[in-house]
Every structure is written in structure tokens, then in C-alpha cells.
Structure 1
Amino acid sequence: MRNSSRTTTLESRFPLLAVENNCIISKEGDITLCFLVLLPELFTVGADVYEAIHSSWNKAVKTLPDFSIVHKQDWYLKESYSPDLEKEEHSFLSRSYQQHFNERPFLNHYCYLFLTKTTRERMRMQSNFSSLCKGNLIPKEIKDKEGMRHFVEAVSQFQRIINDSGYVKMHQLNEDAILGGEHDSGILAQYFSLDRRNNVPLQDMALGAEELRIGNKRMVLHTLSDTDDLPVTVSESKRYDRLSTDRSDCMLSFSAPVGLMLSCDHIYNQYLFIDNSTENLKKFEKSARNMHSLARYSRANQINKEWIERYLNEAHSHGSPSIRAHFNVFAWSEDREELKQLKNDVGSSLALMECKPRHNTIDAATLFWAGIPGNAGDFPAEESYYTFIEPALCFFTEETNYQNSLSPFGIKLADRLTGKPIHVDISDLPMKKGIITNRNKFILGPSGSGKSFFTNHMVRQYYEQGTHVLLVDTGNSYQGLCELIRGKTKGEDGVYFTYTEDNPIAFNPFYTDDGIFDIEKKESIKTLILTLWKRDDEAPKRSEEVALSNAVSGYIERIKSSNEYPCFNGFYDYVKGDYKKIIEQKEVREKDFDLANFLNVLEPYYRGGEYDYLLNSEKQMDLLTKRFIVFEIDAIKDHKVLFPVVTIIIMETFINKMRRLKGIRKMILIEEAWKAIAKEGMAEYLKYLFKTVRKFFGEAVVVTQEVDDIIHSPIVRESIINNSDCKILLDQRKYANKFDEIQNMLGLTEREKSQILSINQDNDPSRLYKEVWIGLGGTHSAVYATEVSTQEYLAYTTEESEKMEVMNLAHEMGGDVEGAIKKISLKRIKGLESKDN
């Protein structure tokens, strides 16, 4: 007797029989293979890539046999960011960052593909024959086992074609992913609960014309199931005006409006029904003849005949298989009022695709039932329309949200659409994958573009992950961060060198913590003294180099064998005394080494001289062991004596780290100071650094804000840009008229140009952030948001009034910069909360 009750159990109507060999088998004998699909990230690909992806889908679908169903199911779920605040390695700023984003809402995306082999009868089944309407489901035997084997082989080819495209990846789901394991719920349980959380209990379901409900979640359904509802033309991609300019186009897939751009809980189902094309075309031929014979009775018949003829002509002239397609959007909410808004939102999104929104209530239940993974064979045929593969594929969504890098090393940025924190590796993983061949970075951003914020944010995270960071600055951009590190490490780290009249910059090139003077250290000292002794245009003689080398080695031997405090004064005394005697004993001629001239030229740096403080620092500090060092050289960048010496010390300090710190990551970041360094004959150091640093697990970073510097400087062009595989650009709207020159200089593609010119075009006014473009090796690029917490803002700020507020309060609190930042940030947060109320 037929079950006539309005209530039944899921078990009695469940259309699936088993999962075997990672395949879903339905009670009607259909077999389905399930895949997780990884799509390109939003805003990262151009029209050419969308066209390539579309072509790959087209080739793959054509490999499937007749009576196959392609069911692509995209889930878009509103989730909240949940940081791990219990990690012990979180620093004060890192914890502040995580708390700032705690419970930040975002739309997450999951994409599945179900490939089903069914029968001719099932492909033509109407909604009243759905398994949902049957009283009893008797499992059927799979008769065409050979056909099933061919189908599995075809699916393997399908997967290979998609994966070979390089843009989309398909991974087959195993039984645990389908049915659920000990700790994870499978895709079936997720579908019946509309929830991807683990161990969510199944709830009662109401599937009817009046209401579509699972638990407290009520659904609305919009369908594209009739050619009258479709746009006149379709394409692989479409211009996204909000991030486009008159010089560039930001592209999204044609169906993006019902994908990530629709910010609500929803599922977008895309179906392609691979029918027997020959049978379909014969049916259309017969229909065209009938329409022709009835044309004199109705003009509509004549028009229909013409449309059928056009369809047949397209099929025969291009060899396009005739298929059926259907697309629908399920959106849901627990709030009835919100559900009304969702109905309008989904309709508006479909209208953006130039489709006619159709709110479907008649077949909503059967369409939901057909959407069960592995149950596409239950799809009601009357809800589909005839088309070809290529136009149907235009309705596939082809992008996903930003994904975290798999590498443990990286920096935290934010998704530009939703503001969710993203872990991005721009150094190690790209090197392993061969995307880049060095870790060097070139950063370009005009004043006010957020350049200092990004660089502060980057170097802070590098430092916290064990990197030795050396910064050369000309504007106190890193003072706050350096003071914070110094306070946290109780003076053991966070070294800030700057020049003032009261506290001039001072070093001691002869001091080492471990008393080891290796070849690199000796060469460093020799280079420094040679710079003091000789002019830039005056090359030393071979005999002078040997004499200087012997003098340095002799003084180092004296240091090792006595308790004498090493410094430049000691070296000068040694040369004037003991070394002079050695020279005389060896009868070294004056023309080979003029000792008097040597002492006379170096006298200003000796005790009582004008610059006696420069190389005789009494602070016992070996920069080799310091992990965060800032050289602020704004006050001396034009000084003809101090600047070359300081530059030598900076470069030698990093080269010493580079060669001696084996297996330890190190970074040198040179702000606008690179212009001064290049002028003073130090270009060779820059060239050497950018070409060599990659061999020592290091990276060199140059930051600039002047476009003309890149366009006209051969050092930047030949040494820096050519040896920087990672390019980072901030808002370039100030340089819009010059951007073609920048594009040519940096070797940017049109897609990369479009991404860069979209920066800050459509920022969310409810969030405070600046966007940044990161390009890797000319092949991978994306725009991210640099959004930080109030505490990080106060540590990074270059606004003098804010910086002075922090420093003055820290001085009152005994130098506690962290405490000052906490106090000011708490005050600001309370002020914002009261303002909102």
C-alpha cells in the first residue's frame, strides 16, 4: 500500500544504497564519483585565464559517455574567524592582532563536483517520479557493468584534463569524506543539516510547496530552468566595475554574482545532463517539421521553427553535442524577516547576470532532493533546458575565497573582500615550488599609501619567527617597533642607531662576543679602515693592502693574548708603536707604505680627534647576535665623513650575519636610504647583496616611493628589480599617468596592472585598512588588505603626534612601551565604543 502519511522517516526515503570504492551507489543503480574542487582565488585571474578554465571544462565534459550528469555544487557559508589565542608563542602584538579579528564574519566557500552515470529512463524522469514521492525504494541491480567501467575510466580522463589546466584542481573524496569519520561529518550529513560543523545532529525536515525547512533553517529557491529566463549572451568572464578603471579591467566569472559576491548562506547547484545528442537532434528535426507544417496557423510556430533551425545549424556546423542544463540557488536563514531580504538579494544577484529571477516553489522539494550528493539521477527533467556545453559552462562559478598558505612560515594579511586574516607565505613555499628563485623584495608606494605600515607589519612577523632583521631607515618609521622589542627583551635586542649631537652614532668594529675573528671579520675591519684612509677615486697599492692586512692581524693577535679592551684607539696605538717597529725591521720603503700618512689620515678617528667617538664605542655590543637592528641615518645621509663609514658598517654587519649565521633566516630592509647609499659609491654592495643573499637563507628588501627613482636609476633597474622576484606595490593612483613606464620597468602583465590599479578602489568603510599588491615571479599575484589592531597601529605609526604620545607615556612609565600602548589603545577602544552607543 502506498505511504499516504505527511510524515515519514529519512531512512525510508533515503535514495542512496551504499558507498563502495569511494563511489556512491544509489538504489536506482546510479553510480557517482565525488570530488573536492579547488578554484583560483577571487580577483587573481584575468579574462585569458577564465577562458582557459572554460576550455578545460569543455574538453573534460566531452569525455563523459551518454547519460552522465555533471553536478557542481558550491557551498557559501557565513562563518566567524576563530583565532588560537592560547598559543604560547604569541607576542603582545600578535595576540592583539588575533583579538582584533576574533569572530570576524566572512563567507567561506567549498566546491564539490559529483559525476553520475545513470540510464536513459532516469534522465527523462519527471518530478512526480522522484524517489521522494515513492512509498518504497527497492534497490536495483546494476546491469550495464561494462558501461560503468568505461564511465570510471572517462572520469579519470576528466580529472586529468582539469588538473592539467594548472588553474583548477580536483581531488577525489574517500569514504570518510562522504560518510563522515570519527571526528568529521561527511558531505551527506552536511547536506542534510546545511551545516559543515562536526557532529551536528540531524533535525526534522519539511519539504513541501509551502515551506522548505531543515530544523530552524528556512530556504528559498531560485532556478534557471528555462531559456526565457536566460540572458541574450553569455561569456566566460565579466567586468567587475567596482574594481575597474578607465585604464584597467577587473574580471570575475560570469556567475560570480551568485557566488562569493552574494553574502549569505547559500548553495549554488550547476547541472549538465549529457544526453544522447543524436537522439536529441532527431527529436528537434521532427519538431521543426511539425512547426513548419503548422506555421500558417500561428506566427509563434514559425518563430519556434526558426529558433529550432538555428539550434540545429549550430549543432551540425560546429559539432556541438546537445545537452540539457539547470542552475539553482538555495539560500537559507533562521530569521523569517531576513529570509524575505535573502529572496530579494538572490533575485538581484541573478538580475546582475541579466537573468530573469524565478522564485521556484513548485519543484523546490524535488530539486533539494536531487541536490543530495550522488542523487542527481533523481533530477526532474522538466526543470532543465536544452543548450550546448560551452554556453552552459559559462554559468559555472570559477573562483574561491583567499586561501591560507600551507607553509608554517609567512605573514598575516587579510582577505580584501571580507577582512578574514590570511596566512601568506611570500618567501619559502614559492621558492620550493619554483615560482621564485630568490626571496628578495622590491616595495613601491607613494607617501600615504600605507607603505610603512606594511613594512612594519612584515618585519615584525619575520622577527617573531626567528629572523635576524637589519633595517636602514631615513624617517624613524621603525622606532616604535624597535623600542617595543627592546623593552620586551630587557635591552637584549632592539638596537636603534641614530645620530644626534648629544648622542652621536658610535660603533666598535673590533669587538666580538665570542672573541672569534674569522676571515669575514678581518676583511670587514680592513674594508672599513681602507675606506677611512683612501678616497673613493684612489685605489690602494698592493703593498699598502698587505701592510694594512698585517697591521689588523697583528692587533688582533695582541687582543687575543692580553686583556686589552679592543677598540680603534688601541689599533691606532698599536700601529704607531709596535707595528712601526715591525715596519722598520722589515725595511718597508715609504713609497710602498707611508706610515706617517696613514696615521695622519686616521687621526680624526683617534682619541681627541673630531670623530673619536665613531669607532670607540664602550658599549660591549656584538651586532652578530642582535636580531632586530635599526640604523636611522637621516641626519648623516649628506655627511661626507660619517655616512660612508656608517654605510660600510651597516653592509659589513649584514654580510657578517649572512655568512656566519648558518641556517638562520636573515633580512636587510633598506628604505629611502638606498638612494644615498648608491650615490656614495656603495652600489657594488647593493649589487652583491641582491645577487648573493639568496645563497645564505637571506633576503634583501628595498623600499622606495619615487617613481622617477625606478625609471631613471640604472642601479635599481639592473641590480634591484632584476634580482627581486617578489614585487610589492601599494596604491598607485598618484602615478596613474606614469604607470605604463612602471609597468614596462617592472615587467608587469596586463592582469597584474589591472590588479594594482584596483587597489583601494572599493574599500569597506566599516574597516580601517589599506590594500597591497604582492606579485611573485610574474605568475602569482593578489591584492590583500593590511589591517591591524589598535595596538599594532600605535607601534607602527609614523604620525609624529601619535608617536610622541606613546613615547612620552612610556617615559613616564619607566620605558615601558608595551604598557603605554596598552593604556592608550584601551582608552581609544573605550572612546570608539561610547561613540557607537
Structure 2
Amino acid sequence: MERIVDMMDVFPIYGYERNSLISKEKGCLTIPLRLELPEVFTLDQRDYNALNGLFFNIIDILGPNMILHRQDHFFEERYGPIPQRLNGDFMEIGNERYFEERPFLRAEHYLFISLVPTGYYKYGPTRVNSFLSKKRDFFLDRTIPKEFLDRDLLLDFEAKVESVSNLLNGSGLIRSEVMGYDALLHEGGLYAKYFSLSASNKNLPDIDFSNNSIKIGEKQARFFTVENLDQFTKEYLGPYELYGKFTTQHNRFPVGNLFSIGFKIPHEHIINQYIYIPEQEKALKGLRKKAKRFDQFGNGKKDDSNGIYADQIREFNTDILENHKEIVFYHLNVLGFNNTDRNHGKMCSAVADGFKKLKINAKENNIDRKNLFFAGIPGNAVGLPSDMYMPMSSDMAASLVYFEGGYRDGSQGIDGLRLIDRVCGRPLSVSVYREPERNHWIFNRGMLIASGSGGGKSYVANHYIASELRQGAEAIIIEDGNSYERITMVFGGTIIEHDDKRPFTFNPFKLDSYDTIEKDDGSRALTEGKVLNLVTLLKLITGDDRGVFGDTMSNEVKNTVLENLLPGYYSHMWETGNTDFRFDSFYEYCQEHLKVLVGAKRISKEVFDPDVFLFLLEKYYKGGPRERLLNREDERIARLGEERLVYFKLGKLIDNELLFPITALMVMEIFDKKLLDKDKLPINKMMVVDEAWKALSRKEFEDYFNSQSRMARKYGGQPIFISQKVDDFIASEVIKNAIVVNSHIKVFLDMGDFENAFEDIQEMMGLSEKQRQSILSLNRDLPLDRKYREVAFCWKDRVKVYGVETSLVEKCIYETNPMESHKINELHKKNHNNWELTAKDYSLLPSQKTQEK
């Protein structure tokens, strides 16, 4: 006959005092800690070694008659749309609807440290959880063992737990905090979660242990246990494992020893780990007795199993004593569960497979299910029978602690980039630069985006630009293709295209309010930024003389001459009342004053030749082949100062080694004006240069880019350089010194094409070993049921990998594949150039719905 009891009668906790839980079972004291573990896939070999050493020290600090109970919850949640995002543009709405109700696992991690009675190590399955058969009155005067009434003992226990918490927080890898009453016993607290096997169920369901199973409400559960060393089939247990999906000949990717039973089990489950620290001499003595018993039953032959076991015990004891380790008793189990209307067998197979990947033969344990369940209740680790523990050294036990936590990025933010975590597809709002700036991970917003061919760099760039525009950012984009045409039209931006019929023209000598300052004597002078811009322009036109004599003398002389000529030109124009500022009048000023200046300073022609300099300038003067380029301001460009989004389509101009750098410099001056606008100081101002590395790698740009980086950092600007020609990164010292060094955010997509020669890229980019491991792991373990690509964000010495997954509505706007672009363009014509209707129709195409699945 089934026995039915009230939940309060079987609740194992008697009370909560001074941060300690008091167990009905022997009155054990437990201090519960909530942990925040390192994010999954972010640890390197040194981190795992440090974590192993950390828990090895914790075991040593705690001493005998203690149990460490590590518990990790992996509960299913479903994504709910954010109301503010549902009020956004059609792409943002489409994104929220796409992720609505997506299931994912959220992890929570705990450490319960218990002080247990002397001799607990002898408590078998019939002696633990004896409170289940006692009535409530029994516990009114028989709760605390006499030894626990020793005030010094209790103070020592509290001090040890505080030391453990401080050690965890001081590691820089794990955060720890003592759990308060509400976090434990509130209706949505830890006990409610455990008893309902749910992250949100507030109404505690019935628990049924009948029929050799566990049923909790509508959920069916089963324990898988590791309680014997014979269940381990691996020959060696180090501080970490190598993850096979990410590890190649060129890339060894570490994960924790228990990684495969965490997020990689795609079902709800709880991991329980128990480390019991006995009195050392008693435990060693007990093992010696056990070895003697094996000897008694041995037959003395070489292959006798009893003799082998006896020798193993003696070797184990010797290792403990000689290497100053502790002997501990360890137990591991996983409680897997799912709704009874789902396939329970699939869940059981997934848990078993997770253990097999660890080379552990887990046991499906129905016999001990009641003791296992009650031992898992926070504060009742003493409920685990001693015969379910296996002896091991403290360093081995430390290496078997679970270490990987979930992504910390909140899914509810509205000011982040929508990405997904790479382990279970949870939607995230990723702060690309705001949080990294606040946390001092980076000191500028400069960004590089790199990938191999077809890696998806333009797709990611579109996604990021759209995210920033929604938050009030402004952007100028320079590119030679059509990758940003749709997003520019959707956000009401301006597209400026260069072609032979309407080539770009500029008047860089024209001044506005940002270009001059008033001196103390009331006169005007050029700003440093304007001088540098014009000096760079003139050096582009006339070439860089750096290194002619094996040093930089000629270059410095040229800089000095130009820095004298330019203020002189403007002073002359102001004094004569001439406001016709343009290249022609500057050239005429040079004709009259350059030779006088050079002669007065006695500069030899070998160092600076004014005739050659004027000859090189002449083709931009009236009557020359380039007379229009620098003498008139294109009306298309003149009105761009207040545009939020401007897209320069350069076409074949990007291959012109002379005209493109000049054009890029003039476009960057527009960006400078945005930076200097005080009204735009709070917003992000982006300068996106896609596939323009080769033309920008000229020496003339080095000083200019260094200055640009300083100004962008000061005024809230974000230069973004994008390329799939990764060789450009390592071919140019200019790019390295002026752009790479000043880009604290480096974004990588698929770099598989460069795996064999990644060392050069790693050195050039200043990447750490962990960043290298993460970048080379991209797209190596993608799920079969979802279509997305991965991206690695590197913030100085940090790295995080995300999935780039968007709705089909967004894909319509970001897609650059020629075949897909043709479909989209046809739909756009059909929908009378309405992008919202076009995107909706594109998402309904049969081919797209198939891809979505």
C-alpha cells in the first residue's frame, strides 16, 4: 500500500539561522552559496588549472567532517518578446516574432557546504534520511547533536565558509554570495524550483516515488549515478578535456571534464556532485584494512584481482601521504527529467550519451531514487548514503567539479545587438562597446571585421549598423559594392555613387565653423585637425618622401614646409579679403611663396625640391587633367553634414590607387565634422570602410589615422574597417600601426581558410591563445535544426563567440548573395519599392521557409 505524507513532514530543513540551514537529519549545518561560473567556452588551459587548484585548496581549508555539494540546474525557459522591440521597425518586430517561444536552457549554480557529524562516513542507506519516518514532534528537542552546540566549532565553520567564498571571489573566475532566506524559501526560491523541477512553477506538485520511478507533477525523472571508480574507462584524468568538435591538428580547445553533461544535454536536468572530507587517519586506516581483506582472499597469482585491488589501495594511500593530498569520497549524479507526454527515452539516451562522451559508464539508478532525491535538497547532502561514495584524491575530485556557466548577456535589453548563444540558441542582447567601455575592457570603439571568403562579414556589419541606427547612431559607409544599399533605403539614408558620368568632386580648402579657432589676439587660425587633413591630402597628391635617405628627414622637412604653407595661405587670403578658398588659389599662393620659404630656410633640393612639388600639384590646377577634383564641391556631398546615414558607392574608384585615397580622405572629413558636433556627442558615430585596405595602407595615412583614432575616442566615434583579404592585415605596417593597434574590438567570422597559417594573423592582431582557439572553432559544431553562422568578438584580451541568426524579414535586407538578391529585387518591384512588404513576401517564399527549418 502506498504511503502518502504531507510535504511539510518530509521537508528536510528544520530552520535557517545565521546564514545556516539546519537539517532535520542529524542537525547538520549548511551554508548555501550561489555561484556565477565562467561563461562556457571562455576558459583556457591556465584557467582550468587555476580552477582545479582552487578547489584543491578549498578541500584543504575546510578539513574533516565537511561535505561540498555542488548543484547545477539546467531548466528550460522560453523566449518572450520584449514590448519595446515590438514597437520598433518592421525588421525588429520580425526578429522578436521569429524568436518567440524559442526554448533554451538557463543554468544556475550552487555550492552547499555542510558540517556533518563525526562518523558520517559509516552511514548506510538505512541510516540516512531517517527523518522521513519520524513525526514533527520528534524534532522539537532532538535536532542538534551535542558536538554542534560547541560555539567555537560553529564559529570556525562560519569562518571556513567565509574563507571559501573569499577564495572563489578572489579567483577572478567564479563569483560567490551567501544565499538569504528569501532566495531559498520564497515561493519562487530555490526549494520551490527543486521540488517542482521548474524555474518558474510556484505551485508545488505532488511527488510520487511508486512503481520504481520518480514522477513530479507532470514530469518524469530518473537518476544516473557514478558511485564506483570502475565506471571510469579513461586511463588518465587531467585538469581539462579537449573538445573534439573544436579541436584540430592546429587548434587544441579545452573544456572541463564534465562539460558533456552540462549544456550539451538538450533536456532539463540537475547535476549533483558531493565531496565528503573524512577524518584523514580514520579513512586511510579503513582503506588499509580493506587492502588486508583483499590480501586474505587473494591466491598470490599475478593476475589475481584481489591482489591487484590491494596493490591499488596501497599505491593510492602512498600517493595521498607523499604528495600532501587529502583523501575524499566523491559521488556524481544527474537527475534528468521531462514532461511525461514527451519521449522519456530520448532524455535518458541523451544523459547516457553525455556520460559516454566523458568515458564514464553511468548507472540508471532506480533503487536509490528516494535517498538520491532527498540528498539533492539544498542543505541535506547528509542524506546521501556513504556506500554511494567512491574514494579518490583531492586533486582528482577537484578536476571533476563542473565549471561552465551560461552566457551572462541579458536577453531583455533593448540597446544591444541581437545574437544567440552558441550552446542552446538563447536570444541575447549583446553590448558591443557600451558595457566593455564601462568595464574597462576597451579604451576605444575602433572595430575590425574580418572573415574568409563568404564568411558573412557584410551580413554582420548590416546587422550591427541597423542595431546602432535604432539607438540614434549616425553612420557614413564607404564600399565598392551594393552590400548596404537596402539598409540605407530602409533607414531613409542617402546613397552617393561615383561613376564616369558623375565623378566625385571636392573643395577641401573651403572652411566652416569646425575648421578655425579664434586666438587670444582676435585673429583666426586653422584647427589642428584641418591642418592635418590638408597636409595628408597634399602628401597623397605629391607622394611620401619617407625613407629616401634611409631616414625620415625628407618626410619631416616636407611636413614642416606644408605646415607653414597652409596657415600662410589662409592668412594671406584673410588679409586680402579673398574668400575664394580652393585648390587653384592655394596653388597660386605656392607659386609665389614656396621658393621664397625654401630659400630662406636654406633647404637643399635633395631634401625638398619646390619645382618637383609644384609640378606634381599642377595637374590639379585649372587646365590640368584633374582640375575639377579639388576645386568644386559636389552638390551631392555639400548637403551631407546633417544626414544620419550616408552610403558612398565607390565602384571601380576603389581600385584607383590615387583617386580613392583622396576620396576616402574627403569622406573622412565629413566624419570629422560629425565628431566635432557638440550636439552629437552622446550618440555613436560610425565610419564604416568595407574592403578598402589596400588603398588606405599608404604611408601618408599613418599619422592621419593615428590622429583620427584619438579624436574618435574623445568624441564618441567608431571607425569600422571590414575585409575578407586577411593578408592585408599582415602585409602593411601602416595598417598595423595606425588601424589594428587602434581597434580594440576585433570581430572574426569563418577563418577556416587561414587555419594552417593563423600564427601570422595572431601575432599581427595581438590575439591571445584563447582568442585564437575561439576563432578557429567557429562553425565547427552547428546544430542541424537551425541555420546560422558564428562570430567571435574580441575585446582586447577577452573573447566571446555568438551565433548570428536573424529572421527571414531581416535576411531580406541584409542578404548579399547574387541569386537571393535577384529574387529580392524582383519582389521589390512587385511591391512598388516598399521594403516592408518585400521583406514579408520574401519570408514567405517556400525556399526560405525550408532554410528556416
Q: Which bracket does the TM-score occupy, shorter chain normalised?
A: 0.7 to 0.9
Which residue is 2:135 aligned to? 136
Does 1:654 find its partner at 2:671? yes
Which residue is 1:8 aligned to? 5
Q: 1:23 aligns with which of 20, 24, 43?
A: 20
Q: State the one-letter code of the partner of 1:202.
A: L
**How far apart are 1:202 and its partner, in Å?**
0.9
Q: Are the aligned partners of 2:85 and 2:414 in contact in 1 as well (CA < 8 Å)?
A: no
Does 1:311 find its partner at 2:310? no
Q: Distance in 1 between matches of 2:104 and 2:289?
A: 52
For 2:778, what is the secondary structure of its paired residue? Answer: coil
For 2:654, what is the secondary structure of its paired residue? Answer: coil
**How far apart are 1:315 and its partner, in Å?**
1.9
Which residue is 1:120 aligned to? 118
Which residue is 1:189 aligned to? 192
Give 5+ residue unaligned stretches, structure 1. Answer: 487-493, 560-569
Which residue is 1:151 aligned to? 157
Q: 1:228 aligns with which of 230, 250, 259?
A: 230
Which residue is 1:33 aligned to? 31
Which residue is 1:161 aligned to? 167
Q: Are the aligned partners of 1:521 and 1:656 in contact in 2 as well (CA < 8 Å)?
A: no
Q: How does 1:417-436 map to 2 (within 5 A)?
A: 417-436=423-442
TM-align CA RMSD: 3.6
Change in Cα spacing, 1:377 to 1:543, as seen in structure 2 (3 Å) is: closer
Which residue is 1:566 aligned to? none
For 2:406, what is the secondary structure of its paired residue? Answer: coil
Which residue is 2:789 aligned to? 770
Query: Which segment drifts farther, 628-637 or 265-274?
Result: 628-637
For 1:111, what is the secondary structure of its paired residue? Answer: strand
Q: Distance in 2 between matches of 1:738 and 1:835?
A: 33
Q: 1:47 aligns with which of 9, 25, 45?
A: 45
Q: Distance in 2 between matches of 1:677 and 1:770?
A: 29
Which residue is 2:733 aligned to? 714
Q: Distance in 1 between matches of 2:594 and 2:494?
A: 43
Q: 1:545 aligns with which of 561, 566, 570?
A: 566
Which residue is 2:262 aligned to? 259
Q: State the one-letter code of the partner of 1:468.
A: E
Q: Distance in 2 between matches of 1:305 and 1:496?
A: 81
Which residue is 2:546 aligned to? none
Q: How does 1:279-678 map to 2 (within 5 A)?
A: 279-295=282-298, 299-335=304-340, 338-404=343-409, 409-486=415-492, 494-505=493-504, 518-519=516-517, 535-537=541-543, 544-550=565-571, 553=574, 604=622, 611=628, 615-618=632-635, 622-639=639-656, 642-661=659-678, 662-678=681-697
For 2:61, what is the secondary structure of its paired residue? Answer: coil
For 2:123, what is the secondary structure of its paired residue? Answer: coil
Which residue is 2:700 aligned to? 681
- Per-residue CA deviations over 1:157-203 (Å, capped at 9, x if unaligned) read 111112222112212211111112xxx60001111111111x52011
**How far apart are 1:328 and its partner, in Å?**
0.7
**How far apart are 1:783 and its partner, in Å?**
2.0
Q: Are the aligned partners of 1:26 and 1:374 in contact in 2 as well (CA < 8 Å)?
A: yes
For 1:116, what is the secondary structure of its paired residue? Answer: strand
Which residue is 2:709 aligned to? 690
**How far apart are 1:155 and its partner, in Å?**
0.6
Query: Which segment drifts farther, 213-222 or 628-637?
Result: 628-637
Which residue is 1:213 aligned to? 215
Q: State the one-letter code of the partner of 1:549.
A: Y
Which residue is 1:699 aligned to? 718
For 1:354, what is the secondary structure of its paired residue? Answer: coil
Give 5+ residue unaligned stretches, structure 2. Answer: 518-524, 544-557, 598-609
Q: 2:202 aligns with which of 178, 200, 203?
A: 200
Q: Are the aligned partners of 2:535 and 2:562 in contact in 1 as well (CA < 8 Å)?
A: no
Q: How does 1:669-818 map to 2 (within 5 A)?
A: 669-679=688-698, 681-778=700-797, 780-807=798-825, 809-810=827-828, 815-818=833-836
Query: Which segment drifts farther, 412-421 or 642-651?
Result: 642-651
Which residue is 1:272 aligned to? 275
Q: Distance in 2 between matches of 1:787 and 1:590?
A: 59
Which residue is 1:565 aligned to? none
Which residue is 2:839 aligned to? 821
Does 1:71 find its partner at 2:69? yes
- Per-residue CA deviations over 1:39-64 (Å, capped at 9, x if unaligned) read 12222222332121111111112111
Does 1:241 find its partner at 2:244? yes
Q: Distance in 2 between matches of 1:484 and 1:5?
A: 67
Change in Cα spacing, 1:119 to 1:529, as seen in structure 2 (3 Å) is: closer
Which residue is 1:491 aligned to? none
Change in Cα spacing, 1:430 to 1:517, as seen in structure 2 (3 Å) is: closer
For 2:35, what is the secondary structure of its paired residue? Answer: strand
**How far apart are 1:233 and its partner, in Å?**
3.1
**How far apart are 1:436 and its partner, in Å?**
2.4
Q: Distance in 2 between matches of 1:787 and 1:736?
A: 24
Q: State the one-letter code of the partner of 2:153.
A: G
Change in Cα spacing, 1:597 to 1:733, as seen in structure 2 (3 Å) is: closer
**How far apart are 1:658 and its partner, in Å?**
1.9
**How far apart are 1:405 and its partner, in Å?**
5.9
Q: Distance in 1 between matches of 2:152 and 2:250?
A: 56
For 1:623, what is the secondary structure of its paired residue? Answer: coil
Q: State the one-letter code of the partner of 1:207.
A: F
Query: Which segment drifts farther, 34-43 or 409-418?
Result: 409-418
**How far apart are 1:433 and its partner, in Å?**
2.5
Q: Are the aligned partners of 1:544 and 1:592 in contact in 2 as well (CA < 8 Å)?
A: no
- Per-residue CA deviations over 1:552-599 (Å, capped at 9, x if unaligned) read 6579x999xxxxxxxxxx6579979xx99xx9xxxx9896699x9999
For 1:331, what is the secondary structure of its paired residue? Answer: strand
Change in Cα spacing, 1:719 to 1:388, as seen in structure 2 (3 Å) is: same
**How far apart are 1:280 and its partner, in Å?**
1.1
- Per-residue CA deviations over 1:305-362 (Å, capped at 9, x if unaligned) read 2232122212221222222111111111223662222222222222222222211111
For 1:734, what is the secondary structure of its paired residue? Answer: helix
For 1:782, what is the secondary structure of its paired residue? Answer: strand
Q: State the one-letter code of the partner of 1:110.
A: E
Q: Distance in 1 between matches of 2:626 and 2:252?
A: 63
Change in Cα spacing, 1:531 to 1:684, as seen in structure 2 (3 Å) is: closer
Q: Distance in 2 between matches of 1:834 and 1:448?
A: 21
TM-score computed with the length of structure 1 as normaliser: 0.87
Q: Are the aligned partners of 1:439 and 1:694 in contact in 2 as well (CA < 8 Å)?
A: yes
Q: Distance in 2 between matches of 1:501 and 1:574?
A: 23
Does 1:250 find its partner at 2:253? yes
Q: 2:78 aligns with which of 71, 76, 80?
A: 80
Q: Distance in 2 between matches of 1:769 and 1:590?
A: 60
Change in Cα spacing, 1:307 to 1:629, as seen in structure 2 (3 Å) is: same
**How far apart are 1:708 and its partner, in Å?**
2.7
Q: Are the aligned partners of 1:451 and 1:730 in contact in 2 as well (CA < 8 Å)?
A: yes
Q: Are the aligned partners of 2:462 and 2:487 in contact in 1 as well (CA < 8 Å)?
A: yes
